[in-house]
Amino acid sequence: MTNFLQVAQTNIPSGFIDLGAGEPQLDLLPLDMLGEAASLRFAQGEREFLQYGVEQGDGYFRAALAKFLSPRYGCEVSHEDLFTTTGISSTLDLLCTLYTQPGDTVFVEEPTYFLALRIFADHGLRVISISTDVDGLDLDELSQALKEHQPKFVYVIPSFQNPSGHTLPPERRTRLIELAQKHNFLIIADEVYQFLGYTQSPPASFGTHIDSGHVIALGSFSKILAPGLRLGWLHSNPDVIQRIVTCGVLDSAGGLNPFTSSIVRGLIEKGDLDKNIANLVGELGRRMQAMDEAIKTHLPQVKYTSPHGGYFFWLQAPGVDTQELQKRAKEFQVGLRPGIRFSSRNGLTDHFRLSISHYGVDDIEEGILRLKKCIVV
Ligand SMILES: Cc1ncc(COP(=O)(O)O)c(C=O)c1O
């Protein structure tokens, strides 16, 4: 049957609280702010943003973005080092196209963002997963794996990781870069949650290390404005930028998303992106605290570390098969995501992921109460 609906997540039955869902709640998307920015752009009466764009992306948008990023990164970001993207997912796909061949090896974290694994599978890549702990990637295991494998890249989510919520500390970042230089692989840093710190800020973006020659940092407006914009950025050194802007897709299509980026440019210049992030940090911070307290009170048997930002809680219920738990939870009208979905080794079967992005505080508390009824450890 034809699906005429606009929104991807449509099958949550009414009354069901899907605490596994990672999409932002519709109420979090700034309709008025974007409406105003779009009206202003149209009122200017210029048609350039409706034309094919320059390959690297509109320079005015990149300049506004660089000005926004610089104080947050604690260093001068140049618009020359930024490339406008249609979000992280499609950029991962483009990077696989340009930097890998089927059969090449790439390293990922265990656990990792399961949909990135699908993209790597589309390119016929051989995925090797490296264990993580509460501080992210285990660099000793990575060093060991480098004795056997030559990865094209290591894909990491260094800040408030999906699903674990963990953040890679500065020392591990430095060591990862040293290893990339020594063993000649790229670090693809997916920083989609970089600006969503509630009780702690993460270390500076991997974008502050592009001079190493081995870093590609990916940002996205999906979690700080709206996923429907399909807009993001890539931050890297001139060699990488040059490789991308000269590829066939861009030669044919021109730069990505000139229309949306020129609307978002106005929004950034007005200071509304800062305002929106401050609103999100306030609201999501309250949700994170509520979920943390509810888990501590009602699910004392699960093990976890309280996250400091991002969307996710990563919980371990020792001895519980969380795929079975998911089925049982459905009967109690509550959803979760079983750990096995985030594993490239078919492991993590006693872990599960919960999210704060899709429901307000009341539903979060009610959802945890429902989980209490069905979780038996
Ligand atoms: C770690 C991670 N990377 C990428 C994405 C998707 O990013 P985008 O919307 O920019 O394609 C998500 C969305 O949930 C995510 O959690």
In a shared domain, residues 355 and 224? no
In a shared domain, residues 222 and 342? no
Please indicate whether residue 113, judged by its CB atom, sits closer than 6 Å to ligand 1. Answer: yes
Determine, yes or no, domain membership for 99.
yes
List the residue whose alpha carbon is closest to atom 14 of ligand 1. Answer: 22
CATH number at residue 101: 3.40.640.10
Cβ neighbourhood burial of 142 (10 Å; 0-12, 13-18, 19+): buried
In a shared domain, residues 69 and 198? yes
Q: Coil, helix or strand for 206?
A: helix
Cβ–Cβ < 8 Å for 174, 203: no
In a shared domain, residues 230 and 287? no
Whether the per-residue pLDDT at 220 is higher than 70: the answer is yes
In a shared domain, residues 83 and 195? yes
In a shared domain, residues 160 and 245? yes
pLDDT at site 2: 53
- Which whole number is the average pLDDT over 75-102? 98
Tens digits of residue pLDDT in 237-250: 999 999 999 999 99
In a shared domain, residues 152 and 280? no
- Which whole number is the average pLDDT over 22-28? 96
As for how many domains the chain has, the answer is: 2
Q: Coil, helix or strand for 287?
A: helix
Q: Coil, helix or strand for 351?
A: strand
In a shared domain, residues 250 and 285? no
Ligand 1 atom closest to residue 89's alpha carbon, by position in its atom list: 11
**Which amino acid, one-letter code, is at 78?**
S
| Domain residue limits at 351 | 17-29+274-374
Q: What are phi and psi of 57, to 5 degrees?
A: 110, 150
Determine, yes or no, domain membership for 8.
no
Determine, yes or no, domain membership for 2.
no
pLDDT at site 10: 54
Determine, yes or no, domain membership for 316.
yes
Residues 6+ apart with CB under 8 A from 101: none
In a shared domain, residues 40 and 159? yes
Cβ neighbourhood burial of 101 (10 Å; 0-12, 13-18, 19+): exposed
Whether the per-residue pLDDT at 338 is higher than 80: the answer is yes
Please indicate whether residue 233, judged by its CB atom, sits closer than 6 Å to ligand 1. Answer: no
pLDDT at site 31: 98
CA of residue 7 to ligand 1 center, whole Å: 16
Chain centroid to CA 44 = 33
Whether the per-residue pLDDT at 4 is higher than 60: the answer is no
In a shared domain, residues 353 and 239? no
CA distance 110 to 130: 6
Ligand 1 atom closest to residue 157's alpha carbon, by position in its atom list: 1
- Which whole number is the average pLDDT over 334-362? 97
Determine, yes or no, domain membership for 5.
no
pLDDT at site 14: 87
Burial 218-242 (b: 16+ CB within 10 A, else e): bbbbbbbbbbebbbbbbbbbeebbe
CA distance 242 to 368: 49
Whether the per-residue pLDDT at 317 is higher than 90: the answer is yes
Whether the per-residue pLDDT at 229 is higher than 70: the answer is yes
- Which whole number is the average pLDDT over 180-185? 98
CATH number at residue 280: 3.90.1150.10
Arithmetic mean of pLDDT over the chain? 96
Whether the per-residue pLDDT at 308 is higher than 80: the answer is yes
In a shared domain, residues 268 and 167? yes
**Structure confidence at residue 6 as a pLDDT band (50, 70, 90):** low
pLDDT at site 375: 84
Whether the per-residue pLDDT at 298 is higher than 70: the answer is yes
Whether the per-residue pLDDT at 8 is higher than 70: the answer is no
pLDDT at site 13: 82
Percent of the chain at pLDDT exceeding 90: 95
pTM of the model: 0.96
In a shared domain, residues 250 and 295? no
